[in-house]
């Protein structure tokens, strides 16, 4: 049991370890054979190169703005939609049909939409803007939010909302004051997933942004693979920094994450 | 506040849950909707609350049609079977919620919460969360939340059914007193005939979505409109004997069990006896029929002994054998044979 865990951990963490060490090694040491596993002269030159000489600071900021904004948008719109789907009886079995339709938007490969999106964004003059990415990521995360939150809402006893209505509250008031506080663990879990997806997204960012001002971290990092050289040190330094915000966020919400993911299973 | 149901029907996907219900409730009455599960009593209550919409018919509050008035504007208070306390709020916040929604000043709100809490003796619980409370305490909190504002009527959906027997009887009495004090119209749903008898000023007995009888508890008990009502109200249930052209009903207390033969008494055999402490229920077999009679606690007969029964002839009920509708209580007693 523990052996398997250790093996899995090594497998998962080895690349991270490799990346971290590379980011602190000089270029010479990076390619030494055999590689210096533990003992080497640490250097910060790659970090300096990435965030001072090059525009990685800018990329980081863009990534953060895009991820946070798109997650917030997707949560607001998706939660309202999910609540409606979970609670209101629509005619023509629309509840079920709409839900499936929303889910189906995630069934085709993302690359299929890349070209049409590029053309659309070009036509509305949004290429190379953060807005373009925010719109796309929001749309991309919406089905996920709707399906997650719909499940959480469905698990909640109706009595509570009905009590709120009888007590004189409006639908929206009942949602904000009674329902949302009760599904907050689910909301947190959903938020983390959306953030991670937006933070790591590569394809659309690559297609829709070309300038330093609009580029996100993953695109920026990949951009260091050029025709003539691969800047391993800079890439590793930037990637190491890229891990930090997600790690901090996930740790901060860890309590909610576990509860949120097991919410359906154990009724609290 | 007066309430009226006018030919109200409710169907769920083709199934008729409430059928052509007409019911008038006068101001200050304590009305109990009584019936077995699935009889439409809860749906009726929910339609009044606005949580379900009537398929057809009108619901009137103080003479004004409210079918299209949303729940939050009907100014009713409801106590749910599950109590539906907000789990993330303290007891004080729970009770104060209807006031908070109405944007009542914080100080005023606290004072009113305090007053209601004192009335229901739950002041010491105000800072706790619902999950830290026992069933009986939660029940009181749900009541407190209902009475903290002065609603036009109280709706109660089996509020006592999750309590243990002793607490249920205690709360039943307190509810009755509370309603008497407040004088507010109350509609109370239950399947427990004892609750209906003790609480109601009038009882509406329902079965399969149809109103069977709407009358005072005493009239329901003494003059049931049909066999269903006769059987549902009273514990132990009324005895039924199939006669030649009527089903005859007699309540257990109207059968006298004698240990010696007497003129005109019917011979029977004791099937089993159940001592209740203050009285004994005697289960009897008379030919193919089974009857229950109430006898004094010291009733001596054992299983399978022979006894003789005297029926109070003026307390017999006669029902149509097909429709079950009451044919009257004064028929020739010679007409039936056991």
Distance linking the first and last C-alpha atoms of chain B = 50
Q: What does the alpha-carbon distance between residue B145 and residue B95 come to, in Å, rounded to a whole number? A: 4
Residues contacting B64, CB < 8 A, separation 6+: none
Instruction: Give the one of B75, B101, B145 whose C-beta lies nearest to A169's C-beta.
Output: B101
Could you report the per-residue pLDDT of B132-176, keeping only the tens digit for each?
A: 999 999 999 999 999 998 899 999 999 998 888 888 998 899 899
Instruction: Give the one of A157, A166, A181 whose C-beta lies nearest to B71's C-beta.
Output: A166
Predicted local confidence at residue A111, as pLDDT: 86
Distance of residue A246 Cα from the nearest chain B Cα, in angstroms:
29
Predicted local confidence at residue B99, as pLDDT: 96
Yes or no: say if A142 and A78 are a contact pair by the CB < 8 Å rule: yes
Q: Which residues of A touch B51 (CB under 8 A)?
A: 162, 165-166
Element (H, E) at B76: strand B76-79
**Tokens, residue A189:** 């879990």
Distance of residue A162 Cα from the nearest chain B Cα, in angstroms:
7
Contact A159 B84 (CB under 8 A): yes
Yes or no: say if B114 and B148 are a contact pair by the CB < 8 Å rule: no
- Strands B56-61 and B3-12 come out as antiparallel
Q: What does the alpha-carbon distance between residue A203 and residue A219 come to, in Å, rounded to a whole number? A: 8
For residues B244 and A160, the model is more confident at: A160
Give the residue among B243, B239, B259 at the shortest CA–CA distance from B311: B239
Mutate to test the interface with A, among B43, B45, B85, B86 (most CBs of A within 10 A): B86
Contact B49 A166 (CB under 8 A): yes
Predicted local confidence at residue B334, as pLDDT: 45
Tell me the Ramachandran region of residue B260: left when phi exceeds 0, alpha when psi lies from -120 to 50, beta otherwise. Answer: beta
How big is the A-B interface in CB pairs under 8 Å?
A: 58
Distance of CA B166 to the CA centre of its chain: 17
Q: Which residues of B touch A88 (CB under 8 A)?
A: none
Q: Which residues of A touch B78 (CB under 8 A)?
A: 162-163, 166
Yes or no: say if B319 and B326 are a contact pair by the CB < 8 Å rule: yes
Predicted local confidence at residue B333, as pLDDT: 47
Yes or no: say if B100 and B149 are a contact pair by the CB < 8 Å rule: no
Q: Which residues of A touch B80 (CB under 8 A)?
A: 159, 162-163
Contact B98 A170 (CB under 8 A): no
Q: What does the alpha-carbon distance between residue B48 and residue B43 come to, in Å, rounded to a whole number? A: 9
Q: What does the alpha-carbon distance between residue B62 and residue B197 come to, in Å, rounded to a whole number? A: 26
Residue A258 neighbours by CB distance under 10 Å? 12
Could you report the per-residue pLDDT of A176-223, keeping only the tens digit for each?
A: 999 999 998 889 889 988 998 999 999 899 889 888 888 888 888 888
Element (H, E) at A89: none
Residue B108, SS3?
helix
Residues contacting A158, CB < 8 A, separation 6+: A87
Helix, strand, coil percent content, chain A, rounded in steps of 5: 75, 0, 25
**Tokens, residue A71:** 């997650």
Contact A166 B145 (CB under 8 A): no
Instruction: Give the one of B51, B70, B98 whose C-beta lies nearest to A162's C-beta.
Output: B51
Contact A167 B76 (CB under 8 A): no
DSSP secondary structure string for all residues of B171-238: HHHHHHHHHHHH--EEEEEES-HHHHHHH-SEEEEEETTEEEEEE-HHHHHHS-SBHHHHHHSSSSPP
Instruction: Give the one of B51, B102, B155 whose C-beta lies nearest to A168's C-beta.
Output: B102
Mutate to test the interface with B, among A158, A162, A165, A167 (most CBs of B within 10 A): A167
Q: What does the alpha-carbon distance between residue B338 and residue B322 come to, in Å, rounded to a whole number? A: 19
Contact A163 B98 (CB under 8 A): no
Predicted local confidence at residue B194, as pLDDT: 94
Regions in chain A scoring below 50 on pLDDT: 264-268
Could you report the per-residue pLDDT of B72-108, keeping only the tens digit for each?
A: 999 999 999 999 999 999 999 999 999 999 999 999 9
Contact B97 A167 (CB under 8 A): yes
Q: What does the alpha-carbon distance between residue B23 and residue B270 come to, in Å, rounded to a whole number? A: 44
Residues of B with CB under 8 A from a CB of A: 49-51, 70-72, 75-78, 80, 82, 84-88, 97-98, 101-102, 145, 149, 155
Contact A182 B88 (CB under 8 A): yes
Q: Is the pLDDT of residue B338 over 60?
A: no
Tell me the pLDDT of chain B averaged across its residues.
92
Q: Which residues of B touch A167 (CB under 8 A)?
A: 72, 77, 97-98, 101, 145
Instruction: State ipTM.
Output: 0.85
Tell me the Ramachandran region of residue A231: left when phi exceeds 0, alpha when psi lies from -120 to 50, beta otherwise. Answer: beta
Put the strands of the sheet holding B326-328 in their side by side order: B239-242, B247-250, B317-319, B326-328
Yes or no: say if B132 and B85 are a contact pair by the CB < 8 Å rule: no
Predicted local confidence at residue B244, as pLDDT: 81
Taking each helix axis as running N to C, give the angle between helix A130-155 and helix A56-87, from 0 to 180 degrees, rounded to the nearest 10: 40
φ, ψ (nearest 5 deg) of residue B293:
-130, 155
Helix, strand, coil percent content, chain B, rounded in steps of 5: 30, 35, 35
Yes or no: say if B256 and B272 are a contact pair by the CB < 8 Å rule: no
Distance of residue A178 Cα from the nearest chain B Cα, in angstroms:
7
Contact A168 B75 (CB under 8 A): yes
Burial environment of residue A233 by CB neighbours within 10 A (0 to 12, 13 to 18, 19 or more): buried
Could you report the per-residue pLDDT of B284-319, keeping only the tens digit for each?
A: 999 888 999 999 998 888 899 999 999 998 899 999
Mutate to test the interface with A, among B53, B84, B93 (most CBs of A within 10 A): B84
Give the residue among A244, A207, A202, A194 at the shortest CA–CA distance from A221: A202
Instruction: Give the one of A157, A164, A181 whose C-beta lies nearest to B82's C-beta.
Output: A157
Count of residues in chain B = 338
Burial environment of residue B187 by CB neighbours within 10 A (0 to 12, 13 to 18, 19 or more): buried
Instruction: Give the one of A168, A181, A182 whose C-beta lies nearest to B72's C-beta.
Output: A168
Q: What does the alpha-carbon distance between residue B17 and residue B10 come to, in Å, rounded to a whole number? A: 6
């Amino acid at each position: 049991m523990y052996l398997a865990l250790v093996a899995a951990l090594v497998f998962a963490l080895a690349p991270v370890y490799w990346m971290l060490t590379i980011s602190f090694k000089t270029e010479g040491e990076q390619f030494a054979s055999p590689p210096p596993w533990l003992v080497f002269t640490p250097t910060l030159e790659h970090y300096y190169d990435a965030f001072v000489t090059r525009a990685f600071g800018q990329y980081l900021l863009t990534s953060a703005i895009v991820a946070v904004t798109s997650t917030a948008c997707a949560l607001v719109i998706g939660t309202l939609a999910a609540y409606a789907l979970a609670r209101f009886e629509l005619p023509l079995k629309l509840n079920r049909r709409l839900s499936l339709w929303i889910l189906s938007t995630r069934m085709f490969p993302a690359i299929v939409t890349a070209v049409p999106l590029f053309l659309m964004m070009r036509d509305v003059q949004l290429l190379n803007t953060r807005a373009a990415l925010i719109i796309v990521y929001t749309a991309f995360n919406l089905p996920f939010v709707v399906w997650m939150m719909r499940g959480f809402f469905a698990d909640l006893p109706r009595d509570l909302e009905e009590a709120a209505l009888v007590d004189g509250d409006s639908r929206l008031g009942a949602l904000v004051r009674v329902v949302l506080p009760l599904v907050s663990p689910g909301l947190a879990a959903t938020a983390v997933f959306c953030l991670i997806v937006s933070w790591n997204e590569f394809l659309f960012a690559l297609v829709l942004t070309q300038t330093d001002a609009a580029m996100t971290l993953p695109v920026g990092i990949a951009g260091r693979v050029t025709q003539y050289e691969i800047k391993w040190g800079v890439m590793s330094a930037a990637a190491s920094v890229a891990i930090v915000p997600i790690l901090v966020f996930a740790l901060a919400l860890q309590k909610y994450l576990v509860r949120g993911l097991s919410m359906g299973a154990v009724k609290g | 506040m007066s309430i009226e149901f006018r030919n109200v029907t409710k169907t769920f996907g083709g199934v008729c849950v409430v059928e052509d219900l007409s019911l008038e409730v006068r101001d200050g009455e304590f009305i109990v909707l009584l019936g077995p599960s699935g009889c439409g009593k809860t749906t009726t209550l929910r339609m009044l609350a606005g949580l379900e919409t009537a398929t057809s018919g009108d619901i009137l509050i103080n003479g004004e049609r409210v079918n299209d008035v949303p729940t939050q504007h009907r100014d009713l208070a409801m106590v749910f079977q599950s109590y539906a306390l907000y789990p993330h709020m303290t007891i004080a916040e729970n009770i104060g919620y209807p006031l908070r929604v109405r944007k009542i000043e914080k100080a005023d709100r606290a004072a009113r919460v305090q007053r209601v809490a004192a009335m229901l003796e739950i002041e010491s619980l105000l800072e706790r969360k619902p999950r830290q409370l026992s069933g009986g305490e939660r029940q009181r909190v749900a009541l407190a939340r209902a009475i903290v504002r002065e609603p036009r009527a109280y709706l109660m959906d089996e509020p006592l059914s999750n309590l243990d027997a002793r607490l249920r009887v205690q709360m039943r009495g307190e509810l009755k007193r509370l309603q008497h004090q407040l004088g507010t119209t109350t509609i109370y749903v239950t399947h427990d005939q004892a609750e209906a008898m003790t609480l109601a000023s009038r009882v509406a007995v329902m079965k399969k979505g149809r109103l069977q009888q709407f009358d005072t508890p005493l009239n329901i008990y003494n003059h049931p409109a049909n066999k269903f009502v006769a059987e549902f109200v009273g514990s132990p249930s009324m005895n039924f004997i199939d006669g030649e052209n009527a089903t005859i009903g007699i309540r257990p207390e109207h059968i006298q069990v004698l240990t010696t033969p007497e003129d005109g008494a019917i011979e029977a055999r004791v099937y089993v006896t159940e001592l209740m402490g203050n009285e004994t229920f005697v289960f009897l077999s008379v030919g193919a029929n089974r009857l229950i009679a109430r006898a004094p606690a010291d009733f001596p007969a054992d299983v399978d002994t022979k006894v003789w029964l005297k029926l109070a002839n003026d307390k017999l009920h006669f029902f149509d054998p097909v429709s079950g509708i009451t044919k009257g209580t004064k028929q020739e007693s010679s007409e039936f044979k056991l």
